[in-house]
Amino acid sequence: MATPYAFMGGQYLPLEDAKISIMTHAFLYGTACFEGIRAYWSPEEEELFIFRMREHYERLANSCKILQIGLKFSIDEMCDATIQVLRKSEFKENVYIRPVAYKSTKAIGVKLAGLDDDFLVFGIPFGDYLDVNKGIRVQVSTWRHLEDNIIPARAKVNGAYVNAALAKSEALQNGYDEAIFLSGDGHVAEGSAENLFLVKCGKLVTTPTTEDILEGITRATLIELARNELGIETIERRIDRTELYTADECFLCGTGAQISPISEVDHRIVGDGGVGPITRKLQALYDDAVHGRLPRYRHWCTPVYR
Ligand code: PMP
């Protein structure tokens, strides 16, 4: 039986013993940033592969710069701690990994500079976050997306996920599966925890990273796979809300969500309401990539046990 472990305060300990004080600055004010990384179990190789781990820690380092969090560990050290946590946990299944860099000082007072910082990481078994088979129903949210000069979407800030939670809950409570955010100026930004792609006339279209979205690693992965393996270019440009209604195909993507086809937006059927052919091809490629089955992209997969 796998027992989840955590790395915290420079030590490895069982997840249930990894605790923080109620006075921790990050708990009181959301002053932390995090990552979501997946590891996929390969039954063929009897190996657990962490997908694009280094890129996630590079993004964490950028988030930390924005939040003035001093990381105590190098990217290599954080990668190594992550491998050790999964090994100690003895996972032989798909895993979700959550690193957090946070303001650890126990104090009242809103600021960023002059506080202590810490880093932790843990993993837990994890299945699908959104449906990936039949297509989800989404709603354009009444909540607008955070902007770069409010809480930067480029940084994966813990406190910013209140914005996501408002939109996601509204969508779920209205009977949808997921929410799509418009930006402050009314263009399509992203899902509550996913980037968004359309297919129009055989080309992929996605929101540029300067439009208040997270610079998604799955997004970058799919742009590369589509170009190299399918010969399909991705156009990065602003997307109008009504383009969601008239797209041939539409999907959300993210580490948690993977590739989740959208079958309906605001009661308009997307395409023929099924999973479109380009979405399906990308799903197959992504599945092969994360399980280490594509030699060209094998460097994206870090084995845990080998
Ligand atoms: N946007 C938001 C707001 C997210 O939380 C996520 C999940 N990390 C994504 C996009 C997708 O990013 P990635 O592909 O790097 O997981």
187 Cα to the center of ligand 1, angstroms: 18
Residue nearest to atom 11 of ligand 1 (CA): 254
What are the pLDDT digits (tens) for 150-188? 999 999 999 999 999 999 999 999 999 999 999 999 999
Report the C-alpha gap between 127 and 5 in whole angstroms: 18
Contacts of 284 by beta carbon, 8 Å cutoff, 6+ apart:
none
Query: Is the CB of 99 within 6 Å of ligand 1?
Result: no
217 Cα to the center of ligand 1, angstroms: 7
Q: Is the dihedral of CA 245, 247, 248, 252 positive or negative?
A: negative
157 Cα to the center of ligand 1, angstroms: 11
Instruction: Please give the single-letter amino acid code of residue 160.
Output: A
Which phi and psi (to 5°) does residue 196 adopt?
Answer: -125, 140
Residue nearest to atom 4 of ligand 1 (CA): 193
Mean pLDDT of the chain: 97
Question: Catalytic: which of 156, 168, 200, 203?
Answer: 156
Look up the pTM and report it. Answer: 0.98
Report the C-alpha gap between 306 and 295 in whole angstroms: 17
Q: Tell whether the model's pLDDT for residue 1 goes beyond 80.
A: no
Query: Is the CB of 218 within 6 Å of ligand 1?
Result: yes
What domains does the chain contain, in order, with CATH numbers?
Answer: 5-125 (3.30.470.10), 136-290 (3.20.10.10)
Closest CA to 179 of 247, 240, 126, 130: 130
Q: Count, in order, helices (H) and strands (E) of the chain.
A: 7, 17
- Confidence at 131, pLDDT banded by 50, 70, 90: confident
154 Cα to the center of ligand 1, angstroms: 10
Instruction: Please give the single-letter amino acid code of residue 8.
Output: M
CA dist 139 to 31, 170, 219, Å? 29, 9, 21
Average pLDDT over residues 42-54: 98
Average pLDDT over residues 199-227: 98
Residue nearest to atom 5 of ligand 1 (CA): 193
Query: Is the CB of 259 within 6 Å of ligand 1?
Result: no
Query: Contact at 8 Å (CB) between 82 and 37?
Result: yes
Report the C-alpha gap between 227 and 233 in whole angstroms: 5
Q: Is 19 labeled as catalytic in the residue annotation?
A: no
- Confidence at 122, pLDDT banded by 50, 70, 90: very high
Closest CA to 173 of 196, 128, 142: 142
Minimum-distance ligand 1 atom for the alpha carbon of 190: 1
* Tokens standing for residue 235: 């156009």
Query: Is the CB of 196 within 6 Å of ligand 1?
Result: no
Minimum-distance ligand 1 atom for the alpha carbon of 217: 15
Query: Contact at 8 Å (CB) between 228 and 252?
Result: no
Report the C-alpha gap between 86 and 179 in whole angstroms: 32
- State the first-to-last Cα distance of the chain, in angstroms, to the nearest integer: 20
Query: Is the CB of 207 within 6 Å of ligand 1?
Result: no
Query: Contact at 8 Å (CB) between 58 and 65?
Result: no
Query: Is the CB of 163 within 6 Å of ligand 1?
Result: no
Instruction: Please give the single-letter amino acid code of residue 179.
Output: A
Closest CA to 89 of 16, 14, 19: 14
100 Cα to the center of ligand 1, angstroms: 15
Instruction: Please give the single-letter amino acid code of residue 259.
Output: I
Residue nearest to atom 9 of ligand 1 (CA): 194
Residue with tokens 């409570």: 173
Report the C-alpha gap between 262 and 134 in whole angstroms: 8
Minimum-distance ligand 1 atom for the alpha carbon of 56: 15
Minimum-distance ligand 1 atom for the alpha carbon of 59: 15
Query: Is the CB of 190 within 6 Å of ligand 1?
Result: yes
In this structure, the chain runs to a length of 306
What are the pLDDT digits (tens) for 85-112? 999 999 999 999 999 999 999 999 999 9
Average pLDDT over residues 119-126: 97
